[in-house]
Structure 1
Amino acid sequence: MTEMPRTPKPRLHIPANAGNTSLVILAALALLFALRWASSVLVPLTLGLMFSYALTPMVDGLQRRCHLPRVLGAALLLLSLGGSLVWTAYKFSDDAVQLLESLPEVSKKVQSAVRAHRSPDESTIGKVQRAAAEIEQAAQQSGPPAPAPGRGVTRVRIERPQFNLQDYLWSGTLGLAASLGQALVVSFITFFLLVSGQTFRRKMVKIAGPSFARRRVMMQALNEVNGQIQRYLLVQLFTSVVAGLAVWISFSWLGMEYAGVWGLLAFGLDFIPYIGAIILAVTASLVGFVQFGAVDMALAVGVTVMTIHMLSGNLLSPWLMSRAARMNPVAIFVGLLLFAWLWGLWGLLLGVPVLTVVKAICDRVDPLQPIGELLGS
């Protein structure tokens, strides 16, 4: 009986070069080190670049319709936005300070509520602790009386100072000054990028080569990348405004205190996918539990926040955003973790816009198209 020849298993033959692979790994590690080491420079530069992408259509409209020079249009736009931010901060500063000063009290009340709702059955450790306390109390009662304090001796009782937000802010004046300096740097970067207009695009087209065909392809690719990034930023800004207004209105209807401050927090945290909504829902639920004293109202506050963010992220954003600009949820989550490790809080805010820029570039460059495919939905 002759044995039938076995069919060879299909294999995927991928040409590999150990030297090239090692160089790629070393280059990736060097890039991560450079991003982390130069974060103080890259974060303001990235913020200015993103703001310039989002504000360029407005400056172009002022130049085209109102016949304003780009310098004047960019200056007026940035001054208007800065004035709006200052007015908003001044308008809600008192409510924000009161809300922050109430957070320690919220923590105490939540701890008290958790202790009150514990099971009456004590654990073994609890019984041992209670027995030890009773033995110590009995020993103190049976022992000799404590000597009376001598004349002229004052008993001192140390009390922990209460949390004062104004003292805390005053002690952090240097940090506030550093933040204002970074905001000024970002403003200048944004202003110069808005004033430059098409300068960098013309230089990139010139670098592409002397032939007309190569320059045309480069111009089309740059236009598509710019349009895709601008569309993403404007859609994100619009959905964040909608989420903030929805939280403001919903919390006002539920009777939550400082509803305007919660709306501002919802607007800012909406720029952080997944994590921002969870932080807002948990914090608002705890504050709502302390304010209303009922678990159902705390759950209603948390469910309201999560519902608004789910509708905004799963319905409104995909409807407004083109198919080419959509990102893979797994890639977004991994990217957030990576940029949070690199740049901290700024990494959470800038992670998704940077990934959008990377995807837009990879989709237009042939050797990098597999990376764009991995990042896409």
Structure 2
Amino acid sequence: MPLAIKTVEIKKTSEPVSSPSTPKPPVLARVGPLGPFPLNLISALVVIFTLRWTREVLIPLVIALFISYFLDPIVARMEKRKISRAVGTAVLLTAIVAGIGSAIYGLGDQADAILEQLPAAAKTFSQSLREGRSDREGTLNKVQKAAAEIEKAAAEAANGAAPQGVKPAPAQAARPGLDLRNYLWVGTVGLVGMALQAVMILFLVYFLLVSGDTFRRRLVKMAGPSFAKKRRTLEILDEINLQMKRFLYVQVITSLWMGVALWLAFRWIGLENAGMWGIAAGILKSIPFLGGTAIIGGTALVGYLQFGTLSMSLLIGGVSMGLKSLEGLLVSPLMTSKAGRIHTVWIFVGIFFWGWIWGVWGLLLGIPIIMVAKAVCDRIEGLRPIGELLGDERRAHSSGGNRNVTP
């Protein structure tokens, strides 16, 4: 009997004591039927807005980072030859600025010659168009004349049917002609802004190259005390460095291909200064869309100034368009996709997206930014699905899973 009483007492004491006045803990509401998708969408929109809003600050920083990545191997070789990084960087940047200045000076003489020939070329071009219109009376001209006659008859009928007390509408004032001073002022302000931005980028590149691997060591130190996090940070930095080298390799190869192909084609046609146009094409090729437009328009104009016929101008412009289309739509995307292990579709999507975010600079920086994002996503466990989405499945299967990913 005492044993039974003891058992009952144990059962009573083991039950939790609950009071009706004690409030129950609140139950957290669930995120919703869509899960965390709305929050992720809002976060993505905030990031996109921030990138657009801060582009005046971010663009020089990103350009300086990429240039320092490209020039760091040269400075490292100079350092191995007992040349300090400060002196080697100063010599290298001075040589680059001098080369760009001499190229602009050489192109300036050609531009002056083209500007001197523009009035006569415009007169000849308009005369040839008038002669072409007078020689053939096509269907379009007949339709235009008929439309003009109908419009004239309708206007006369409207004037005749108008009431006596109603006065005709006053003639509109003529629009002012083209004022070149406004365009020159805007262009001068834009050039001054670009010059100041270039100077700022130059100083950023100098200090980044002089610092060497200081930021690299600090990033590894900030990764955390664990050896796995430090190793993962090192792998990300090494992969970014490798991707930048691959991008530079693709740009050099495609620029050489474009310059040599255009030089040979123009030399075969007989265009003057074919070598200079080949060099310009190799440099401007790196700017998507706008660079190709400048090459096609410039070569077509020079061809018309030299040969004086519209057919030769169209031939030279067509050759430039064909080579640029072959390079931009086939050679560069395939080489970039193969070098960066990124699907070709995302190459074009990245160019359009970053062009919308940052304009012309976004067109230029879109591909290396995607390559860096791919390198980061492949090395972080939570971002690996994005890396798989950006990657090319065929090359991923051919590699056999040799990627070293640290969780």
TM-score (norm 2): 0.70
Alignment partners' CA distance in 1, 2:385 and 2:126 = 51
| Residue matched to 2:109 | 94
Alignment partners' CA distance in 2, 1:22 and 1:248 = 54
- Indicate conservation of the 8 Å contact 2:263/2:274, yes or no: yes
1:350 and 2:365 matched: yes
- Indicate conservation of the 8 Å contact 1:95/1:258, yes or no: no
Alignment partners' CA distance in 2, 1:103 and 1:373 = 53
Tell which deviates more after alignment, 228-237 or 38-47.
228-237
Post-superposition shift, 1:56?
0.9
How has the CA–CA distance of structure 1 residues 77 and 299 changed in structure 2, closer, same or farther, with 3 Å as cutoff?
same
SS at match of 1:67: coil
5 Å-filtered alignment, 1:1-377, equals: 18=34, 20-64=36-80, 66-99=81-114, 116=132, 120-121=138-139, 122-129=141-148, 172-260=187-275, 262-273=277-288, 276-277=291-292, 280-281=295-296, 284-285=299-300, 287-288=302-303, 291-292=306-307, 293-295=309-311, 298-299=314-315, 301-307=317-323, 310=326, 314-315=330-331, 323=338, 325-377=340-392
Alignment partners' CA distance in 2, 1:261 and 1:169 = 27
Alignment partners' CA distance in 2, 1:130 and 1:71 = 77
Alignment partners' CA distance in 2, 1:220 and 1:123 = 71
* Residue type of the alignment partner of 2:143: T
Alignment partners' CA distance in 1, 2:142 and 2:320 = 37
Alignment partners' CA distance in 1, 2:272 and 2:89 = 38
- Indicate conservation of the 8 Å contact 1:246/1:308, yes or no: no
- Indicate conservation of the 8 Å contact 1:101/1:163, yes or no: no
- Quote the RMSD (CA, aligned, Å): 3.8
- Indicate conservation of the 8 Å contact 1:95/1:261, yes or no: no
- Indicate conservation of the 8 Å contact 2:287/2:363, yes or no: yes
Alignment partners' CA distance in 1, 2:232 and 2:248 = 24
Alignment partners' CA distance in 1, 2:149 and 2:113 = 39
Alignment partners' CA distance in 2, 1:263 and 1:249 = 9
- Indicate conservation of the 8 Å contact 2:235/2:379, yes or no: no
Post-superposition shift, 1:215?
2.1
Alignment partners' CA distance in 2, 1:376 and 1:34 = 26
Post-superposition shift, 1:124?
3.3
SS at match of 1:367: helix
How has the CA–CA distance of structure 1 residues 109 and 274 changed in structure 2, closer, same or farther, with 3 Å as cutoff?
same
Alignment partners' CA distance in 2, 1:128 and 1:322 = 54
How has the CA–CA distance of structure 1 residues 18 and 322 changed in structure 2, closer, same or farther, with 3 Å as cutoff?
closer
How has the CA–CA distance of structure 1 residues 176 and 260 changed in structure 2, closer, same or farther, with 3 Å as cutoff?
farther
How has the CA–CA distance of structure 1 residues 339 and 105 changed in structure 2, closer, same or farther, with 3 Å as cutoff?
farther
Alignment partners' CA distance in 2, 1:230 and 1:342 = 25
Alignment partners' CA distance in 2, 1:235 and 1:52 = 17
Post-superposition shift, 1:349?
1.5
- Indicate conservation of the 8 Å contact 2:262/2:277, yes or no: yes
Alignment partners' CA distance in 1, 2:369 and 2:119 = 36
- Indicate conservation of the 8 Å contact 1:335/1:355, yes or no: yes
Extract unaligned runs of 5+ from structure 2: 1-30, 156-174, 393-407
Post-superposition shift, 1:57?
0.9
Alignment partners' CA distance in 1, 2:70 and 2:115 = 32
- Indicate conservation of the 8 Å contact 2:378/2:384, yes or no: yes
How has the CA–CA distance of structure 1 residues 200 and 284 changed in structure 2, closer, same or farther, with 3 Å as cutoff?
same
How has the CA–CA distance of structure 1 residues 51 and 284 changed in structure 2, closer, same or farther, with 3 Å as cutoff?
same
How has the CA–CA distance of structure 1 residues 311 and 132 changed in structure 2, closer, same or farther, with 3 Å as cutoff?
closer
Alignment partners' CA distance in 2, 1:223 and 1:338 = 26
- Indicate conservation of the 8 Å contact 1:281/1:306, yes or no: no
Post-superposition shift, 1:22?
1.5
SS at match of 1:210: coil
- Indicate conservation of the 8 Å contact 1:109/1:290, yes or no: no
Post-superposition shift, 1:134?
11
Post-superposition shift, 1:168?
6.0
Alignment partners' CA distance in 1, 2:186 and 2:64 = 29
How has the CA–CA distance of structure 1 residues 169 and 59 changed in structure 2, closer, same or farther, with 3 Å as cutoff?
farther
Post-superposition shift, 1:86?
0.8
Alignment partners' CA distance in 2, 1:31 and 1:125 = 53
Alignment partners' CA distance in 1, 2:354 and 2:120 = 34
How has the CA–CA distance of structure 1 residues 317 and 57 changed in structure 2, closer, same or farther, with 3 Å as cutoff?
farther
Post-superposition shift, 1:291?
4.4
SS at match of 1:92: helix
Aligned length: 338
State, as a whole percentage, how many aligned pairs show the same letter.
38
* Residue type of the alignment partner of 1:303: V
Alignment partners' CA distance in 1, 2:348 and 2:333 = 17
Post-superposition shift, 1:304?
4.9
